Amino acid sequence: MSDRNNQRRSGGHGPMRGGRPVEKAKDFKNSGKRLLISFKPQIYRIITVFITSIISVIFSILSPKVLGKGTDALVEGVKTGIFNFEYIKTIIMYLFVLYIVSSLFSYIQEYIMASVSQNVVRKMRDDVSDKINKLPLKYFDQNAVGDILSRVTNDTETISTTLQRGVTQIISSLVTVVGILIIMMTISPLLTFITLISIPLSMFAIIFVMKHSQKYFKGQQKKLGELNGHVEEIFSGHIIVKAYGKENDAIEKFNKINQDLATTAWKAQFFSGIIMPINNLISNLGYVLISIVGAILGIRGIISIGSIQAFLQYNKQLNHPIAMLGQISNQLQSAVAAAERVFQIIDEVEELKDETNSTELKSIKGDVEFKNVKFGYDKDSVLIKDMNISAKEGQTVAIVGPTGAGKTTLVNLLMRFYEVNNGKITIDGTNINHIKRNSLRHHIGMVLQDTWLFNGTIKENIAYGRENATDEEIINAAKAAQAHHFIKTLSDGYDTVLNEEGTNLSQGQKQLLTIARAFLSNPGILILDEATSSIDTRTEIQIQKAMSNLAHGRTSFIIAHRLSTIKNADLIMVMNHGDVIESGTHTELLNQSGFYADLYNSQFSVN
Amino acid sequence: MLKIFKKLKKFSVMIAGVLIFVLLQTLCDLNIPSLMADIVNNGILKNNVPYVISAGIKMLIFTIGIVVFSVLSNLLSSVVSAKFSEKLRNEIFEKVENFSLDEFNKFGTASLITRSTNDVTQIQMVVLVILRMMVMAPIMTLGGIFMAIKTDAGLSWVLMIALPAIVVLVLIVLKFGGKLFASMQVKLDKVNLVMRENLTGIRVIRAFDRIDYEKARFKTANDDLTETAIKANKIMAILMPGILIILNFTTIAIVWFGAKRINIGEMQIGSLMAYIQYASLILFSFVMMSMLFVMVPRAAASAKRINEVLETETTIKEPLDLKYSNDELKGEVEFRNVSFSYSGADEPVLKNISFKASKGEVTAIIGGTGSGKSTLINLIPRFYNVTEGEILVDNVNIKDMSQHYLRNKIGIVPQKAVLFSGTIRDNIKYGKEDATDDEISNALDIAEATEFVSEMESGVDTFIAQGGKNVSGGQKQRLSIARALVRKPEIYIFDDSFSALDSKTDAKVRKSLLSVTKNSAVIIVAQKISSIINADRIIVLDEGVISGIGTHNELMKNNDVYREMASSQLREE
């Protein structure tokens, strides 16, 4: 997916869009239709845009003919020596009105269109945001954040810019072409015929060149992707490249890709760049032909000079929309492709709804039971075959095992982020499937190593644990979480704003904040993920202390890395490959001399 | 911006070519309306068919001239812009490859990536647009004005009103629109931010049941963006109709006042027609030039960012007089009163560090976060220059060695395991280019990686995706250990290199490492005392200062910091 992003980023919005390869929608017809349907709420505006755009175009294409009449009047004057200034004044008045009306309506049209496409896109973004909250977690585990983000911002951006211009341009181009053809026929069918020859000619030429340039553009994007990939890789591994003295290898490879890129790049630019001159050539040939043939007809008195002048203007006006139509169709295609990607999210299967007769949990004791739970992230591969756990009110359950043993899966199931395939999980005897999700989650607190804090103040971040918490409650929670002290040392205290990357706090401090958050929410059941080695000893002691404060009097599941927690736990569950392979207290397990004893002793085996 | 454009000098011949061809093309362009005027004045009005045909042929020649010249200028401008950006990218990449960590981290990885890719693309685009359009616009404007005056000087005052009118219109729209477009970008970033937070925090949001709150947050950001975008677009909506109306009013003025001049015999009809066309040429070229105001600021921002990279000089320079180490010592590191501060920092990170690690010994460095452990070991391969004191490897100051020679002696396993796209074999060979299959499998054995590698589809020839996405953290770490092992270096540096391993694997790897590091100096950064309890020498770092050096037992006796750490860590056992 990142390839696509790279291409998009590097694509830019230069003025040289012609010939860039078009992203094709997989199902153009349906996605296009849905895109159209999404315009429905804007239907009145769109109709207005249609009407104003047609009026504007009609008035603008009438003007060369009127102008031609003026020229004819002047020719008359030159020939006869008498200038009819009254008549000329009338014509100029007409022109004045035509120009004003045309510009005015084109302004109205663009003005209205400004909100049409933006509103459509706003709705799309809101829909996605809505949808995100209804999707099962599985979706997020399987799709990269960057990809979803790119759909919400880049893709909707593509849609809005394209539609903004595209829709009105299509209307005005079509009206212009048809209108001009009709007017030209009324002036001179012969000259019209000459002008028409240039249309298919320029279309063929443009299509021909575009095919070539697309080939090179594709090559360019491929090379650019390769180059970006290489740069990303080498820069991310800078320290290793230096340590192993591989700078020159990296530069050599870079230069090679870069050279290839430059070669395809200039070819792509060249071919897309000659579309305009070729189009102009054809338009100019039409111009020359009209001048010559028109002049000859003029001498014979078949056509007036004003008409020739009008024709010359029409010839120019006609060529522009034809060149445009080719471009717009490309843009529309990428807009539909972008819309399709947005629709894909909106169409994803949602999380199962709460059962209709599901209950609210009022207050809980905290008995948790897993009964014959079977689960797999994919239907085909079962991770947990048959899991049974029973944790009584207020007990501490430590879960240990090597990485990838399925410890996080337990969290996912208990919080009902994922649904069990078989068996059941109960809280105080009630199957969690019969409890409303938000009610269930309300009673379970979670402190993960992957701390999530948002770009807001410390206070807001702690208050995330409970709506409407008072300042006092927040400070008390921070105190209980051993976080009060360090917060006080920050320049703005509780009002310190966490920056976007959260780099103004250390990892350990962040974890203390999430513990404070859990304190505030005061849950009956806790899931704690202990910190590993990225935290210094002092903070680590604080975290441990805060966690044991928090765990006091609650049923707690602790994903453990620390021997102290393990030793004092009421129940230790040793997991491996998704199964609980051993369980019991510390002493019991040591006496079994099994996996746990092995794991425990290995910590000292170096000695 | 100008600094970067100076680099275009190399292409000055081609750029001169572009200028010449554009000039020729414009000349051809400008001749067409006046030929048309001639056809009307001398052909139609005088009933002279041969004149029409000869003038028509001239027109045809000019038309073909336009195409030929524009294709040629186009060819040259494409090549110039592509080659120029190639050169720019090369310079940046080479520069960055020579950066020490100091300069590298000043910019940051992400920023350097965009600077060497996106920013260059921006510049390339601008160069292309300038060569293609901006060169033509002034020539066309000047040429158009010249031809217009030549056609009929008496109407010049019309243009003198129209031109400023266009400028004022464009400036007004840019002034108001430009601001809005800038704030639109900020608001788009905000939408992005909220969405990113929503996605990364999905578990927490659901756990705390704050879906509605987040929805409202997104909606606010989204509405804000939309409103601004609509406002900006509404202002932009004035631009095209405005330009057209000025152009059309100019036409009306030309017709009306032209008619009066024709009446008194000072102008011909054909000239009037030509004049209208010149007026539209001039005004459109003017609009094109004003677009320069839109493009340049964006490109200037990119140019500035590129310049910052190119102008940064690396602090680590190769010595003029290279020294080589004594072969007998092989594997000795000595710090003599080393102090180090990061550039721009007030406080030194390391103060007065002295110790000596010899061949066959294990030296461990322990201390809290921010105590300077990683900084210390990063000084050994000379990723940074020491601020004071000196570091000797095999009794030679590392500043007197070539970087390549020095780093060849070192096998480093960093905190964050980095693999490159390529097969596992390629990745291991990164440590030693000519490693044999035996050496590779031996290294994998010691790093406890043989088992999982052999379980993979193609064994050592399995392809590692970019960023090592298809292997787990623990596997990555073991492979990066193997990469250091295959090098058989004089000095091993492990910077908390076992963090992603479970305790069982950790213990196994450590055990087997002992057997191969006998003839080297081993320096280990560790978090847990239990893992380095047997080291020959433990260095306790506390806020950049050595608070004690000794064996575990010695330190337990006479070092408070160490004892405190030990009691918090070991009381569990």
pLDDT at B96: 92
- CA of residue A6 relative to chain centroid, distance: 13
Cβ <8 Å between A258 and B571: no
Of residues A60, A446, A607, nearest to B534 (C-beta): A607
A578 or B112, which is more confident: B112
Answer whether residue A15 shows pLDDT above 50.
no
Chain B residue closest in CA terms to A302: B44
| Strand blocks (E) in B212-345 | 333-340
Question: Which comes out higher in pLDDT, residue A199 or A234?
Answer: A234
Selected for mutation to probe chain A from B269, B281, B302, B492 (highest A CB count within 10 Å) is B269
- A312 contacts B36? CB cut-off 8 A: yes
Q: How many CB atoms lie within 10 A of CB A535?
A: 23
A148 and B199 within 8 Å at the Cβ level: the answer is yes
The parts of chain B modelled with pLDDT lower than 70 are: 293-294, 328, 344-346, 369-370, 568-573
Query: Which structure tokens are listed for A80?
Result: 């006869």
In the predicted model, is pLDDT for residue A1 greater than 60?
no
Q: What CA–CA distance (Å, rounded) separates B144 from B136? A: 11
Asked if B82 and A266 come within 8 Å (Cβ–Cβ), the reply is yes
Which 3-state string (H, E, C) describes A41-89? HHHHHHHHHHHHHHHHHHHHHHHHHHHHHHHHHHHHHHHHCCCCHHHHH
How are the residues of chain B apportioned to helix, strand and coil, as percentages rounded to the nearest 5? 65, 10, 25
Does A133 contact B214 at a Cβ distance shorter than 8 Å?
yes
- Judge whether B30 lies within some domain: yes
Q: Which residue of A has its CA nearest to B69?
A: A277
Q: Do A231 and B64 touch (CB under 8 A)?
A: no
Q: How far apart are CA B89 and CA A230, in angstroms?
A: 13
What mean pLDDT comes out for the span A57-74? 88
Nearest CA distance, B96 vs chain A (angstrom): 8
Torsions phi, psi of A9, nearest 5? -60, -45
**Contact between chains at B96 and A233 (C-beta distance less than 8 A):** no
Which chain A positions have a beta carbon within 8 Å of B480's beta carbon? 240
Could you tell me if residue B558 is inside a domain?
A: no
The string over A307-320, giving b where at least 16 C-beta atoms fall within 10 Å of a residue's C-beta and e elsewhere, is bbbbbbbbbbbbbe
Q: Does residue B79 sit within a domain?
A: yes
Which residue from B minimizes the CA distance to A124? Answer: B222
- Residue B3: Cβ within 10 Å count: 12
Q: What Cα–Cα distance (Å) separates residue A188 from each residue in A316, A317, B149? A: 17, 17, 33
Contact call for B368 and A122, based on CB within 8 A: no
Smallest CA–CA distance from A106 into chain B, residue: B241
Contact B202 A132 (CB under 8 A): yes
Q: Which residues have C-beta within 8 Å of that of residue B461, sequence separation ≥ 6?
A: B423, B424, B425
pLDDT for B19 equals 92
Give mean pLDDT, residues A368-394: 83
Verify whether the Cβ–Cβ distance A464 to B204 is below 8 Å.
yes
Kindly state whether residue B139 falls inside one of the protein's structural domains.
yes
Distance set, CA B38 to CA A519, B52, B359 (Å)? 90, 8, 95
> For testing the chain A interface, which of B111, B233, B524, B570 should be mutated: the one with the most A CBs within 10 Å?
B233
Q: Which residue has the tokens 């030549």?
A: B150
- Mutate which of B195, B366, B371, B541 to disrupt the A interface (most A C-beta within 10 Å)? B195
Reported as a single tens digit per residue, the pLDDT across A535-564 is 666 677 777 788 888 888 889 888 876 666
Q: How many domains, chain B?
A: 1
Most B-contacting residue of A10, A142, A317, A537 (CB-CB within 10 A), to test interface? A537
Q: Is the pLDDT of residue A604 over 60?
A: no
Structure confidence at residue A403 (pLDDT) = 58
Using only C-alpha atoms, chain B has a radius of gyration, in whole angstroms, of 36
From A6, A119, A455, residue closest to B197, measured CB to CB: A455
* B538 conformational bin, left if phi > 0, alpha if psi -120 to 50, beta if neither: beta
Which candidate, B38, B44, B42, places its Cα nearest to that of B59? B38
Minimum mean pLDDT range among A88-97, A185-194, B339-348, B423-432: B339-348
Tokens of A439: 């009610």
CATH of the domain at B28: 1.20.1560.10
Domain assignment present for B133: yes
- Could B81 and A266 be called an inter-chain contact, meaning their C-beta atoms sit closer than 8 Å? yes
Residues A99, B245: C-beta atoms closer than 8 Å: yes
Residue B352 lies in a domain: no
Residues of B in contact with A278 (CB under 8 A): 67
Is the pLDDT score of A14 beyond 80? no
The residue among B140, B228, B248 with the most chain A CBs within 10 A of its CB, best to mutate, is B248
Residue in B with minimal Cα distance to A464: B208
In a domain, B251, yes or no: no
Name the most confidently modeled range: A232-241, A496-505, A589-598, B68-77: B68-77
> Does A351 have pLDDT greater than 90?
no
Partner residue facing A305 (CB), from B98, B269, B565: B269
pLDDT at site B294: 66
- Asked if the Cβ–Cβ distance from A403 to B129 is below 8 Å, we say no
* Nearest Cα to Cα of residue B481 among B401, B554, B543, B424: B424
B-chain CB neighbours of A232 within 8 Å are 113, 466
Give the rounded distance of the alpha carbon of A508 from its chain centre: 32
Asked if B82 and A265 come within 8 Å (Cβ–Cβ), the reply is: yes
Q: Which of A107, A239, A245 sits opposite B383 (nearest CB)?
A: A239
Q: How close A385 gets to chain B, by Cα (Å)?
A: 23
Give the minimum alpha-carbon distance from B383 to chain A in angstroms, rounded to a whole number. Answer: 8
**What residue of A is the nearest CA neighbor of B211?**
A133
Q: Give the residue from A11, A499, A465, A463 showing the smallest Cα distance to B193.
A: A499
B79, B90, B242 member nearest A255 (Cβ): B90
| Axis-axis angle for helices B109-116, A189-236 (nearest 10) | 150
Q: For residue A16, what pLDDT band results from cuts at 50, 70 and 90?
A: very low
Q: What is the model's pLDDT at position B482?
A: 93
The reply to whether residue B191 touches residue A153, judged by beta carbons under 8 angstroms, is: yes
Which residue from A minimizes the CA distance to B468?
A: A233
Taking an 8 Å cut-off on Cβ atoms, the answer to whether B533 and A125 are in contact is no
For residue B68, the enclosing domain spans 2-152+267-311
Nearest chain B CA: its distance from A259 CA (Å): 7
Whole-number pLDDT of residue A404:
57
Interval A418-474: pLDDT, tens: 888 889 999 988 898 888 888 888 888 888 777 788 888 899 889 888 878 899 999
Instruction: Chain B: give the shortest CA distance to residue A409, in Å.
Output: 13
Chain B CA closest to residue A92? B252
* A284 contacts B32? CB cut-off 8 A: yes
Residues above pLDDT 70, as percent of chain A:
90
Instruction: Please check whether residue B234 lies inside any domain of the structure.
Output: no
**β-strand pairing of B422-423 with B463-464:** antiparallel
Which site among A342, A533, A548, A574 would you substitute to test the B interface, given the most B Cβ atoms closer than 10 Å to its Cβ? A533
Domains of chain A are 26-187 (1.20.1560.10), 392-417+443-602 (3.40.50.300)
Determine the pLDDT at residue A123.
Answer: 92
Q: Closest approach of chain B CAs to the CA of A12, in angstroms?
A: 8
Query: At CB < 8 A and 24+ separation, what contacts does B487-490 make?
Result: B487/A244, B487/B411, B487/B431, B487/B432, B488/B411, B488/B432, B488/B516, B488/B520, B489/B408, B489/B409, B489/B410, B489/B411, B489/B520, B490/B330, B490/B331, B490/B359, B490/B393, B490/B394, B490/B409, B490/B410, B490/B520, B490/B521
